[in-house]
Structures are given as structure tokens and as C-alpha cells.
Chain A
């Protein structure tokens, strides 16, 4: 008999303060509860299994609800599942679905809906960008690779309201994964009736706090409150309008003209003006991402030349980059995994504690040992995708390398898709710009990127010891031991210098003072059901 470790989600995961979404008592609400949100670019799709990118996810979080949801501060709370049990070995999850949760047409949301949806994500015919999200589930990878029928996925409906999920190994971040929009359920009947084009107004059935009312491509998307949502009593907004505005200065102008209540971003060049004129509306918060440079380890000059890579890494003055070039509160990066990741204490370079002069002396020594000198300097190329901010960073780093070591730097910028192609091919790149934003709050979402077989390991880093530690961590149910394995792996990796971490990202928004319920969080997720408009 398997012993079940009963985790009552309601008691363990929900802190009472953050759980309540409704505006606090005594708050004066505006008569009209309509929120206008700037949303970056046009969403690729509203089908949660086919879309990619932040703009789509922002809208899907309002339309749909996964098994697990998030409180305003990002804390995990029950979503479509009201509770769950995890087996002692951490490999089996039993989700108990809400009996009062329905689709927007009134049909109940059942465990069968999730079985259908998750099989659809991993089905290679669906062509989902995020099929990997479900990779921890038993057989998922074989199905994605087309080696097994999708019916073999480790997901089973024990009855209408009980979903059993079997994992390959204990996956401490599994619940966190389930907040990702790619794990949201779709309605089988809906998909079968309309095929590829079911995610349209008048057609789409969804199970979230809002329903899709209108979609004018490149203009706006209107969501209306879903009165059938199980927690509708705690929804305040009646309508949310998303505007795809790619150009950040246009978005800011519309915000200043009062046409938007929140923006998706703002131009770096406007930061000074914003801080001076509307400091209370500027919302900058740590974000789960790392901006870094990669070294191509498969070609000279970086192939088999760790000392050179270390020297270049040491002389980059991250405090100057974040403090003088970026200036939005970005955090200097001396490691790969950002601070604030759950169950993980960040790892940093040993030499961080050295003074600037000591670092410089050490870097010069390494540079010499690597076979270079002032007389015989390294000539190197920094390749980045065309963008003003990337250029500023590249210029600054080029100058730092030149001053400290005499390196000759050539800057090459390329259009995005060309750049991606070159980065992947590893034939032209030497030093290349990159950034990684985690899809889920766990160190593994960073660590896996440098696994030798990972699809976007564009450095070509290949260390069997590192790979082995990552694989061991995937089977380690004990959180503390798992953290140790991952930290050991990271320490080995950063000291091999396949990458040069530069800074940890921040999210940047401007938010009108009358938007209530907006809480900065590391995932930068802001569900509309938590927001409300104050009287103004």
C-alpha cells in the first residue's frame, strides 16, 4: 500500500493575507470597473497550447485557469483544483477538482478535460512551443518525440473530479509549472467543433475569471467578466481591454494621455523623466531572468581556453553597467541563477570578494597565461541582435575589455532571426549576447540550459559531471539535497566559464495610482481578477 502524504493545499500553500483577491474593506471603488492594459505586441494566438510569448500568456491567465493558480504576490494557490495530495516519493499527484468550476457555457470542468488538454500539448502534431513544460510527466518526452502514442501520458482521470498524474521523478517545481499558461485546459468539444480556429470571440469556451468578447487584430482585445467563474464573487473588474502596442514610447504616450491604466514596459531613456515626474507610478521589480554573454566553446579563440574566458569575465564591471548604463535597478550578476528563486541560494564567483584592483591583476595574469598580451592582443567579436540597449552594453563591455587587457573588440549586430540562426549553428559566433527568462520559478529552469543535450545550449558547453549532477537532482525527492546538487552543478559550470553573466533582469511598468491590487512579483504575473479601479 502506498502511503499518501496528505498535503491540504488550503492550509499549506495559502497564506490568508494574499489569498483574498477582493479589494480590502473600506476601499472606495470607481463606478466603472474597466481596465485598459498595454500589452506589448500582438499575441501570437490565444490557444494556450500554441502560443508563445508574454503578451499571449498575460491574456490567457485571465481567460483560463490551470490546476494551480497564483496569489497577487506570486504565491501558489489552488486554481481549478481545490486541493491535491502528493505521494511520499514525490512522483504521484492526486488533484481534486472543484465541483463548482464550469466552462463559460456552464459545462463542468472535469478531470477528463485536463487529460484531453495535456495529451494535446505533448502531441507532436499540435506543434506546441511549450510541450516541454510537461516533460516531467511519465512518458511525456517519448510522446513529444513521436515514439509513443499520446494516450500513454502519465495522466489519468480516476473519476470526473480526480486527476492522477504520474511523474518520471520527483519534481519539486511541478506545482509551479502548472501555473504556466501552456498547462491550461481547453474544452474538447470546442476544439473539435472549430478546429484550429476555436480561440476566437463567439467561439472560445474558457474556464477563467474572464471571457473573450472581442478581438481586433493589432488594435485591442476585450475580455468581459465571466459570471459563471467559481470565484466570481471576488472579481471586481467588469471589463479588461488589452492593447497590443509594440513601440514603447507610443505606449507611454498613450498612458500619459490617460488612455492606458498600465503599460507592459517603458523606454529606458524615459526613466529619468518618469522618476522625476511620476515616481509613484513607476513599478520596477526583480524578474526571473539573466542577461548574459555566451562564449562559443566549439571554435577558437575560446575553445579549450578557460583562462581567457575567465579573464574576460572578471574585468566586466557589472556595477557600472547596471548603475550607469541601465539605471533601472538591475542587479549585477556574478552567477547564473538569479536571487529570489524558490528553494535555492544563489551561487557566486569566488573572486567576487576581491577588490577591483585584485580582480584586474588576476585577470591580466590569466590573459597572459592564455597566450595574449598588450603586444599580442586578442581580437574578438561581440555579436548581438540589433537593439539600442544591447548596443550600449556591448560598447561598454568592449571598452572595459580594451582598457583592462587591451583586447580589440569588433561589434556585430544582426536582425533577430539571423542572429538566432548563427547562435544555434555555432559556426560564426565568438561572444554572443543572450538572455534567459525562466518559465517557472525553479533553479532547474536555468540549470538545464547548459546541459550538453539542451536545444539552446548555444555555447556548446559539455561537461559530463554537470550533466550527471542535473540528472541526479531530477531524481532527488529531498529539497535540501536537491538544492545542494544543483548548487554544486552551478559552481562547476560558472567556473568553467561557458557564459559571462551580466545582470539579472527587472520588470518595468508604469501603473496609474487608481489601479488597486497590483503587487510586484518575481514572475511579473498580474491577474486581472486581482485588480480593481479606485475612485478617482
Chain B
């Protein structure tokens, strides 16, 4: 187990280096630079800005410098938000995205697994069809349609909830964005759960368990659910990493100060360091969560041993 963890740890570094390298060169391939504006910037000032941020050096030198800085934990200054460093921006935004994302994942997991299991138990019943139809709708209706609708109804017309803002994560401010973020996940998770539960419930060992006369509750909770959740678990790894690094759509619509918007804004502004910062951060999270998923597999599935 420990040896496996160590191997994975070693294997993560080349992946990360590849991510950094690709991101570094790709963002620089895009035409235009961080200081291009439709205002007049004297060439001398432009040259000084380039010099200050080392943009005047050859690319390989900038790349080397960047790797060196990152290795020392320095993601550099943001080109766009001049009063902040990239580390500060991520440090301020990530707790917000994390809190929102974890709440959404927790909600999605509870609701999605419950619905999926119920649908599997009553396969081809009216309940099953209802759940599946709803989840299909949930998958098909994108966030940017659902979220403004919810805002219009609950904030503008009914005045039950605030129309935006974070307010340090106060519950009323969280409700709509969490639901909006969770809806597609609920849909996805309930479908995954249903599919795999149907398969598990048909398998031989479940028949054996039932033949032994175990109560249905025990069959379900102790024997069926664990293997039934395997696909959900493997889906959750990257999904969690994706959700806790924020959603640009949800953040824009609800005015939430997370880090999701930096992926898009950073790229549009050619804020090289900010884009690199969030990409590396996201990469590390993906690697970590995939590792956690593999460990959880070992716990859930007796066939998997490290």
C-alpha cells in the first residue's frame, strides 16, 4: 500500500511537468499579450513593462525562470490585477470555490445515490421513469439557462433569496448556487448509480445473499451498495476536482468570488501567470483526487489490492 502510494507520488511529477509545459507554451501561442489595450501605450512604457515581467527574454529562458519560481512556491504577480500576486488571488478565491463545490458534491451524492438506488430497485416502474426523465432533463439543461431562471423566480419575483453575492458564505447566498451547481451532478450520479445497481442486484452473490434469507435492507446496504457505487466513485474524483476549482458560469451569474472565472478571464486577458497558476492548481487537484479514488476503490472492492 505504502509502496503503491510512493510509486504514484513519483509518477505524478512527469504529469505535472507536462501540464506546466503545455500550458506555458499554449497560452503564449495565442496572439496578443497581457499589455495590449485599445488605449495608447507608448512603446517605451510597453518595453519597460515587458522587461519588468521578463517578457522580453527568449521563451526558453522565461520557461526556465517560471519553473524555478514555481519550484520555490512563487506563482508570480498577476499581470491584470496589479495589486495582487497569483498566490494571493488563488488563496482568496479557493476557499470560496471549495466550500461551494463540496456542498454541491455532497448534495449531489446524497440525492443522486438515493434516486439512483430507488430507480434501480423499482426498475421500469413509474418512479424509475420519473427519476430518469428528470435526470435526463437535468443533464440537458445547461447551468447558464437554469441559474438565471432560478434567480429570476426566487430572488427577483419572490424575494426569498439574494440575487447574488457571497456574503462570506451565508446560507441564503449559498442555496441557489449550490443547487445550480449540483443539479447536473445529481442527474449524472443518479443515472450512474441506477445502471450499476441494476447490474449488481442481478449478480450471483446478491442472489446468494437473498437465498440465505437476509433482510432486503442488509442485502442492499451491506452487499449491493458498495460495489454498486464503484462507477460513482471513479466519476467523483475528477468531478470533485472540477467542481471545487469553481465554475465560471455559476460564479459570473451569482457574483461569487471563486477561482473558476480566472480560467477564462486569465486567458482572455493574457494574464499568463494567473492562467498558469490556476492550471497547475487544477492539475495537482486532479492528480490528488484520482489517487484518493484509487485508494477508496481498495476499500470498496475486495478484488482490488495494492
Hey, which bits of chain A sit against chain B, CB under 8 A?
42, 44-47, 50-52, 124-125, 127-132, 144-146, 196-197, 199-200, 216-220, 243, 245-247, 249-250, 253-254, 256-259, 415-418, 420-422, 424, 434-435, 454-456
Closest Cβ of chain A: how far from B159's Cβ, in Å? 7
Is the beta-carbon distance between A45 and B83 smaller than 8 angstroms?
A: yes
Report 21 cross-chain contacts, Cβ distance below 8 Å, ordered by A residue.
A46-B83, A125-B48, A125-B52, A127-B49, A131-B42, A144-B42, A196-B77, A197-B83, A216-B92, A217-B84, A217-B257, A219-B255, A250-B148, A250-B255, A253-B151, A256-B156, A259-B162, A418-B32, A420-B37, A421-B36, A435-B38
Closest Cβ of chain B: how far from A126's Cβ, in Å? 8
Known: A196-B82, A217-B84, A253-B148. A145 touches B257 (CB 8 A): no
Q: Which residues of B contact A218 (CB under 8 A)?
A: 93, 251, 256-258, 261
Mostly helix, strand, loop or mixed at chain A's interface? loop
Closest Cβ of chain A: how far from B224's Cβ, in Å? 44
Closest Cβ of chain A: how far from B82's Cβ, in Å? 4
Closest Cβ of chain A: how far from B168's Cβ, in Å? 9
Closest Cβ of chain B: how far from A293's Cβ, in Å? 14
Is the beta-carbon distance between A124 and B83 smaller than 8 angstroms?
A: no
Is the beta-carbon distance between A455 and B81 smaller than 8 angstroms?
A: no
Known: A245-B164, A422-B31, A455-B40. A216 touches B83 (CB 8 A): no
Q: Which residues of A contact B258 (CB under 8 A)?
A: 218
Picked from A128, A199, A253, the residue with its CB within 8 Å of the CB of B156 is: A253
Is the beta-carbon distance between B44 and A145 smaller than 8 angstroms?
A: yes
Is the beta-carbon distance between A44 and B82 smaller than 8 angstroms?
A: yes
Hey, which bits of chain B sit against chain A, CB under 8 A?
30-33, 36-45, 47-49, 52, 77, 80-84, 89, 92-93, 148, 151-152, 155-156, 159, 162-166, 251-258, 261, 268-270
A sample of 10 more A-B contacts (CB under 8 A), given A216-B166, A218-B93, is A47-B83, A52-B39, A124-B47, A146-B48, A250-B151, A250-B254, A253-B152, A254-B164, A257-B163, A454-B40
A257-B165 Cα distance, complex, nearest whole Å: 12
Q: Which residues of B contact A196 (CB under 8 A)?
A: 77, 82-83
Q: Which residues of B contact A247 (CB under 8 A)?
A: 252-253
Is the beta-carbon distance between B165 and A219 smaller than 8 angstroms?
A: yes
Closest 9 CB pairs of A and B: A417-B32, A257-B163, A218-B257, A219-B257, A45-B82, A455-B40, A127-B49, A421-B32, A254-B163
Picked from A219, A253, A435, the residue with its CB within 8 Å of the CB of B163 is: A253
Closest Cβ of chain B: how far from A432's Cβ, in Å? 11
Known: A216-B257, A455-B41. A256 touches B31 (CB 8 A): no
Is the beta-carbon distance between B81 and A217 smaller than 8 angstroms?
A: yes
Closest Cβ of chain A: how far from B89's Cβ, in Å? 6
Is the beta-carbon distance between B42 and A250 smaller than 8 angstroms?
A: no
Q: Which residues of A contact B251 (CB under 8 A)?
A: 218
A196-B78 Cα distance, complex, nearest whole Å: 12
A145-B43 Cα distance, complex, nearest whole Å: 8
A3-B38 Cα distance, complex, nearest whole Å: 42
Is the beta-carbon distance between B255 and A245 smaller than 8 angstroms?
A: yes
Known: A129-B37, A217-B81, A417-B31. A145 touches B255 (CB 8 A): no
Q: Which residues of B contact A256 (CB under 8 A)?
A: 156, 163
A257-B40 Cα distance, complex, nearest whole Å: 39
Is the beta-carbon distance between A132 and B159 smaller than 8 angstroms?
A: no
- Give the residue among A145, A199, A434 with the most B Cβ atoms within 10 A: A145
Closest residue of chain B to A246, judged by CB?
B252
Q: Which residues of B contact A42 (CB under 8 A)?
A: 81
Is the beta-carbon distance between A124 and B45 smaller than 8 angstroms?
A: yes
A321-B215 Cα distance, complex, nearest whole Å: 74
- Give the residue among A132, A247, A257 with the most B Cβ atoms within 10 A: A257
Q: Which residues of B contact A131 (CB under 8 A)?
A: 42, 45
A424-B41 Cα distance, complex, nearest whole Å: 12
A494-B151 Cα distance, complex, nearest whole Å: 48
